[in-house]
Structure 1
């Protein structure tokens, strides 16, 4: 349900549980953590989903059993954020809940025009993972972060792009190709050079 394709220095991770809107079980989340932690070997990493949804976040039954507040979410987003290479979220559809955390941890975010972004923690009675509001606010400012986290708004990607939450839109049939193209210069450089530039931006 989590696939990993390695193409030289490029790693492509795909969430594939289409019958459940690519929602994540504890086992899937653990696997994503392990991949992200081992991806320091990669020069670039693309995260995407199969089908028409990127991920609905935690599987509903697992969320009720405690997955919604699991430290695995923070472990995953932290591992992604610490990677020295370029990380790209290629959103083939909507990203919701905890899945938005891994998207926020990426360096760049592409999305198809039909996607929406939302994080219904207020409605569900959970707190977001600690780093998620920080990253969200850094990207779009406090008022817009409150629109998502407190007002529970589902943000269409066209609006999200205006806010700076999405960097570029791409049609479904070329989403992955565009994500790969964004990784080309990083893949052509030495890992040390790419890591040095990323460290300067941080």
Structure 2
């Protein structure tokens, strides 16, 4: 349910469970984390999904069995954040719940205009994964982070773009092409050069 395409230094990982809104099982999370850990050798990693939803977060049955509070989420987002190359979330649709973690951990985020962003941990009675609130607040500020995490707001992609949570909007037919274009300079550079610049920004 996770497909991986390697094109030279570019890796594209796709969540491929559209019939279940790309909701994630423990096995899928483990596979994504393994890809992100292995992508230390990649120049750029793009995360995307199939269908009209990027990911609805934890699979309902798996969430009831404890996946909603699993350390796998933090393992995945930590591996993405640690990448020396460029990471891009290409949101083919709405992102919700725990799936926000991998998106927040990416260097750049692009989305189709009809996507939405929401993280209903307050309503569901869970805490967000440990690194997510800080990453969210660093992108959009603490008050807007509280709108998402505490007030349960669903943020349209156009507003998320205005807030700085989404870096660029692209039509679905152009989404991966836009992500590839964003990665072009990094792919053309040496891995050491790209890693050095990323370290300086951090």
Deviations 1:41-78 (A, max 9, x none): 10000000001100000000100110000000000000
Q: How does 1:163-182 map to 2 (within 5 A)?
A: 163-182=163-182
Aligned to 1:17: 17
Aligned to 1:184: 184
Q: TM-score, normalised by structure 1?
A: 1.00
Following the alignment from structure 2 to structure 1, what is the Cα–Cα distance between the partners of residues 58 and 84? Answer: 27
Query: Hey, which bits of structure 1, 4+ residues long, moved more than 2 A?
Result: none
Following the alignment from structure 2 to structure 1, what is the Cα–Cα distance between the partners of residues 200 and 150? Answer: 33
Q: 1:169 offset after TM fit, Å?
A: 0.1
Counterpart secondary structure, 2:90: strand
Unpaired stretches in structure 1, ≥5 consecutive residues: none
Following the alignment from structure 1 to structure 2, what is the Cα–Cα distance between the partners of residues 65 and 144? Answer: 31
Following the alignment from structure 1 to structure 2, what is the Cα–Cα distance between the partners of residues 19 and 158? Answer: 26
Unpaired stretches in structure 2, ≥5 consecutive residues: none
Deviations 1:54-108 (A, max 9, x none): 0000000100110000000000000000000000000000000010110000000
Counterpart secondary structure, 1:98: helix
Following the alignment from structure 2 to structure 1, what is the Cα–Cα distance between the partners of residues 34 and 106? Answer: 16
Aligned to 2:193: 193
Q: 1:180 offset after TM fit, Å?
A: 0.3
Q: How does 1:56-75 map to 2 (within 5 A)?
A: 56-75=56-75
Alignment coverage as a number of residue pairs:
202
Q: How does 1:1-202 map to 2 (within 5 A)?
A: 1-202=1-202
Q: 1:154 offset after TM fit, Å?
A: 0.3
Counterpart secondary structure, 1:3: strand
